Amino acid sequence: MPKPNSYRVTKCRICKSQNLYHFLDLGTMPIPNGFIQPENLHRKEERFPLGTTTCLDCGLVQLTEVVNSSLMFKNYLYIPSTSRTMLDHFSDVADEVVARFSVGKDDLVIDIGSNDGSLLQFFKANQVRILGIDPAENLVKAANLKGLNSTVGFFTVKLAQTVKKKSGSAKVITATNVLAHIDDLNDVVKGVRELLAKDGVFIIEFPYIVDLIEKTEFDTIYHEHLSYFGLWPLKQLFARHSMRIFDAKRIDIHGGSLRIFVCFQKSTHHSTPRLNRLLNHEKVYAIHIKQTVDEFSKRVSIIKSDLLNLLKKLKKSKKSVVGYGAAAKGNVLLNYCRIGTSLLPYIVDSIPYKQGLYTPGTHIPIYPEKKLTNDQPDYVLILAWNFADEILKKQRRYQKRGGRFILTIP
Ligand code: JHZ
């Protein structure tokens, strides 16, 4: 009997409690970056339940079903370097980290989930030693072609031991939009402990659960993101490994994220006042109570019915509507709302990899962005809303000619 490609979560990933409260069900759908070649459209797509549960003890929000990571990350189509917003963001991160922690040319910076080296390139520009670690062979190849030293693999304590032997300890380890994708968090932290220098800093960025709930960003809930972190659950995770968060900063990227700074328990890094302010704010916001998450779920259903009513009304009045940004989050919205080509005939996207493919589950064709100004449809539904500013700037001509944008989230 082949091993199933997913399993149901029965205990909290961080505190192991079974006191879980299931609060959102988005139905079953294919993996969010499972774009389809035209010749494979007839093939059955494996669909997995998509829903979330909150741990009533530590407050960690997590998926109810975990999909096999190899299905999602061995050949990965998400490439941050295709977005100016992301490149500017990573450049700021590297400059801020190098200056704040006096990272010198002999110091090693390791990026976990390094993708195509989008962040590493800016550390390299600061003349520090770099190493990327990522499971996607296609992306590691692209990074190495750009001279951004990277190795293929899922980050585990075993891989950390090999890297330590070869490259020594790291002054800085970064992990942007990757920790939420990993099931065995204890193994990751053990790996970081193995690799991090005694006065080193582990810097993590992730979409912040308080932003997700506050702005009802439910389409960022998908099979790649196993956890939806807040400070309190992570505080527990690191304490278990004699490490501590000493600073945290809310940032705008991806609809609202958190950047946290972690060190060894006995390190000299002092806790900052803004960390304590955020811890108090989170406690008041109370993600781990049923009422907070139940109200969120109600808002999600309203967004679905409002969007469907709008699209059906526009179709009835013969208005044309297309999608913009074949993002994983967009695929969640389309599958949850069951929006196919009858309501959205096509999507435009800047990533060459995705052009000519079809969206998973809804089978909507993806074209280059220039199709938008060629066709001049009446409306554009922005699916990659985390890049709305960049997209609006790029599409001034479409707007000047009367084109209008629809944003359902946030
Ligand atoms: P984009 C990402 O999710 C990646 P996704 C990841 N899953 C994660 O953790 C979250 O963010 C936080 C297109 N685009 O980046 C390119 C244009 O067409 O939001 C992309 O296909 N024109 C690791 O999948 C898509 O939009 C443009 O001008 O939601 C954006 O997808 C720009 C800027 C983007 O990835």
Q: How far apart are CA 114 and CA 118, in angstroms?
A: 7
Closest CA to 63 of 52, 54, 75: 52
Q: How far apart are CA 397 and CA 382, in angstroms?
A: 16
pLDDT(134) > 80: yes
Give the DSSP H or E segment for 137.
helix 137-145
Q: By alpha-carbon position, which residue is closest to atom 33 of ligand 1?
A: 83
85 CA → ligand 1 middle, Å:
10
Phi, psi of 40, deg, nearest 5: -105, 10
Q: By alpha-carbon position, which residue is closest to atom 31 of ligand 1?
A: 327
Mean pLDDT of 316-326: 98
183 CA → ligand 1 middle, Å:
22
Q: How far apart are CA 21 and CA 59, in angstroms?
A: 10
- Report the atom number in ligand 1 closest to the C-alpha of 224: 7
Q: How far apart are CA 38 and CA 391, in angstroms?
A: 27
pLDDT in tens, 171-207: 999 999 999 999 999 999 999 999 999 999 999 999 9
pLDDT in tens, 11-51: 999 999 999 999 999 999 999 999 999 999 999 999 999 99
Instruction: Report residue 71's pLDDT band, with 50, 70 and 90 as the boundaries.
Output: confident
Q: What 3-state class would DSSP assign to 309?
A: helix
Residue 195 contacts residue 160 (beta carbons within 8 Å) = yes
- Give me the pLDDT at residue 272, please: 98
Closest CA to 307 of 343, 256, 261: 343
pLDDT(75) > 90: no
pLDDT in tens, 378-396: 999 999 999 999 999 999 9
240 CA → ligand 1 middle, Å:
34
- Give me the pLDDT at residue 81, please: 76
Listed as own residue / partner, the contacts of 109-112 with beta carbons closer than 8 Å and 24 or more positions apart are: 109/170, 109/171, 109/172, 109/173, 109/174, 110/163, 110/167, 110/170, 110/172, 110/173, 110/174, 110/195, 111/173, 111/174, 111/175, 111/176, 112/155, 112/173, 112/174, 112/175, 112/178, 112/188
149 CA → ligand 1 middle, Å:
24
Round the average pLDDT of the chain to a whole number and report it.
Answer: 95
Residue 155 contacts residue 94 (beta carbons within 8 Å) = no
383 CA → ligand 1 middle, Å:
9
Phi, psi of 133, deg, nearest 5: -130, 120
Instruction: Report residue 363's pLDDT band, with 50, 70 and 90 as the boundaries.
Output: very high
Q: pTM of the entire structure?
A: 0.94
226 CA → ligand 1 middle, Å:
18
pLDDT(358) > 80: yes
- Give me the pLDDT at residue 294, please: 95
- Give me the pLDDT at residue 315, please: 98
Q: By alpha-carbon position, which residue is closest to atom 18 of ligand 1?
A: 349
pLDDT in tens, 265-306: 999 999 999 999 999 999 988 877 899 999 999 999 999 999
355 CA → ligand 1 middle, Å:
14
- Which residue from 386, 396, 407 has its CB within 8 A of the most atoms of ligand 1, so it is best to mutate? 386
- Give me the pLDDT at residue 289, please: 83
- Report the atom number in ligand 1 closest to the C-alpha of 33: 24
pLDDT in tens, 87-116: 999 999 999 999 999 999 999 999 999 999
Q: How far apart are CA 226 and CA 370, in angstroms?
A: 35
- Pocket, ligand 1, Cβ cutoff 6 A: 78, 82-83, 177, 207, 224, 254, 325-329, 349-351, 354, 369, 384, 386-387, 390-391, 394
Q: How far apart are CA 130 and CA 120, in angstroms?
A: 7
Closest CA to 282 of 230, 228, 336: 230
**Sheet with strand 61-63: strands edge to edge:** 20-29, 48-55, 61-63, 227-228
Mark 28-60 as b/e (b = at least 16 C-beta within 10 Å). ebbbbbbbbeeeeeeeeeeebbbbbbbbebbbb
pLDDT(56) > 80: yes
Q: How far apart are CA 212 and CA 137, in angstroms?
A: 31
112 CA → ligand 1 middle, Å:
19
- Give me the pLDDT at residue 78, please: 73
Measured CA distances, 355 to 91, 152, 307, 328, 359 (Å)? 27, 26, 25, 14, 10
- Give me the pLDDT at residue 70, please: 83
Phi, psi of 16, deg, nearest 5: 70, 10
pLDDT in tens, 225-265: 999 999 999 999 999 999 999 999 999 999 999 999 999 99
- Which residue from 83, 139, 224, 226 has its CB within 8 A of the most atoms of ligand 1, so it is best to mutate? 83
Closest CA to 86 of 98, 94, 76: 94
Instruction: Report residue 66's pLDDT band, with 50, 70 and 90 as the boundaries.
Output: very high
Question: Which pair of tokens denotes residue 366?
Answer: 């993806």
Question: Which pair of tokens denotes residue 249?
Answer: 């900063």
